[in-house]
Amino acid sequence: MPIANCWLLPCYNLSLMFTRPPGFTYKNDELHCDGLAINKLAKKFGTPLYLYSATAIRERYRVLEGAFHHVKHTLCYSVKANSNLSILRLLAGMGAGFDIVSGGELERVRRAHKKSLSKVVFSGVGKTADELRLALRSGILLFNVESEGELELLAACAAELRKVADIALRVNPDVPAETHPYISTGLREHKFGVPMSSARELCRRAAQHKYLRVAGVSLHIGSQIGDVTPFHLAMERAVDLALELLADGHKIRFIDAGGGLGISYNSSAPIEFNDLAHRYEEAITEPLLRMKKPIPHLLLEPGRSIIAPAGALITRVLYLKRNGNKRFTIVDAAMNDLIRPSLYQARHEITPVNLVKGRSERVQSDIAGPVCESGDFLARDAILPAVAQGENLCILDAGAYGMSLASNYNSRPRSAEVLVDGTRARLIRRRETMKDLLQQEAACL
């Protein structure tokens, strides 16, 4: 039975019509993650708790993989969306490459699956010399270079190590993508990439360096993009540039279309993923297939679209309170565990783990955590069944940019993470302790 929608819709039974990916479903009125009852997991591992469904991760990966089966491609999972080692290893085992944005993420890939280092693309506007050297020594696939300064520094590091670096300029295609301003990246005014107009000249200069090889064109226009048109526009520009670069004598072997495919955070407006993946594939490959053979190898950097719906944050109701007319459900998870609602005004669906028969009353309240900030909320004006103190709630679609953005604000140890595969639950990150938090510090004087 598909998940109940307890937010936005007055009646959550309506949601029985909607389908969600496997992973979080009710059985006998109790929410399960894959084959395991969430209340039991919460009891065993404590709350707040991040839960991931291995089945859902595999399914999402396969759908994307399947959509692009007729073009040479590699899905380079974007590590920053969720960088847990077990999740990286699961994806590496399915053939994924990785998109990284720091030396730290490179070390995670090495630890998770060393052989996958050769399938790593390195993005980011602020790579340091140490990070570039680390990546050169690791033999990664491609450097997505974002400025002239980076080009020069990479050339120097590569010469020092006598290692040839394959590079793609990350261009800024100047296409608007309808998403939250903080996660839009493909406009001229954003810090990312180099302008299309200077790309040819920069590539000409790069080619003069003995240890740099211009091997591709790359772009990434933003995140949580639900309409495929911007991807198509951006790809057209990338292909135009690739053709110019080929004419200039560069061997363009890769086109990196970035990530950014969105998901539905609202089960009353579901997106059929198979269908979206196919529309996305058409938008991206239509310009690509206009190129003469051999068609460059397509790189994609999906993060959210694979991992977001495969994860949830489980939290326990601590208190129910009322200030004037406003009601609050105070839970044990907070903005330090999941910052998306506070940072991006993101709306996550929240549902009780138990569907209690006969509980028909709906209550509107803010779901807020213990952190001392008014901006600390997980949902504003959520409409839920009247839950009781001690019950567990499930914050859905929290697999991406959840744990990876978690902090220790208010000296709160970060949650445990559990990966459920069928009827097996594995602790993939233990809950932090106060000892973990304090050990880097000294109480001087």
Q: How far is the CB of 344 from ligand PLP (least distance, A)?
A: 12
Binding track, positions 159-178, relative to ligand PLP; x by CB under 6 A: --------------------
Q: Judged by CB under 6 A, which of 99, 105, 332, 376 binds ligand PLP? A: 99
Q: Judged by CB under 6 A, which of 193, 216, 260, 402 binds ligand PLP? A: 260
Closest CB to ligand PLP among 304 and 316? 304
Preceding omega of 176 cis (within 30 degrees of 0): no
Say how far apart CA 149 and CA 438 lie, in whole Å: 38
Q: What is the full DSSP assignment across 147-204?
A: SHHHHHHHHHHHHHHT--EEEEEEEE------S-GGGB--STTSSSSEEHHHHHHHHH
Q: Which residues contact 324 (CB under 8 A, 6 or more apart)?
A: none
Q: Judged by CB under 6 A, which of 105, 281, 301, 332 binds ligand PLP? A: 301
Q: How far is the CB of 87 from ligand PLP (least distance, A)?
A: 13
Which regions of 204-310 does DSSP assign to beta strands (E)? 212-218, 254-256, 297-300
Q: Which of residues 45-84 bind ligand PLP (CB under 6 A)?
A: 78, 80-81
Does residue 123 touch ligand PLP according to CB under 6 A?
yes
Does residue 259 touch ligand PLP according to CB under 6 A?
yes
Q: Judged by CB under 6 A, which of 303, 311, 385, 399 binds ligand PLP? A: 303
CA quadruple 431, 390, 2, 425: dihedral sign: positive
Stretch that binds ligand PLP, among 87-95, 235-243, 252-260, 339-347 (CB under 6 A): 252-260
Q: Judged by CB under 6 A, which of 20, 73, 297, 304 binds ligand PLP? A: 304
Say how far apart CA 419 and CA 189 lie, in whole Å: 40
Strand pairing class (165-172; 73-78):
unpaired
Distances (CA, A) of 388 to 11, 75, 330, 331: 19, 43, 11, 11
Does residue 258 touch ligand PLP according to CB under 6 A?
yes
Active-site pick, 11, 76, 157, 372: 372
Phi first, then psi: what are they for 384, rounded to 5°?
A: -130, 160
Size, binding site for ligand PLP by CB under 6 A: 18
What residues line the site for ligand PLP (CB under 6 A)?
78, 80-81, 99, 101, 123, 220, 223, 258-261, 301-305, 400
- The catalytic residues are 372
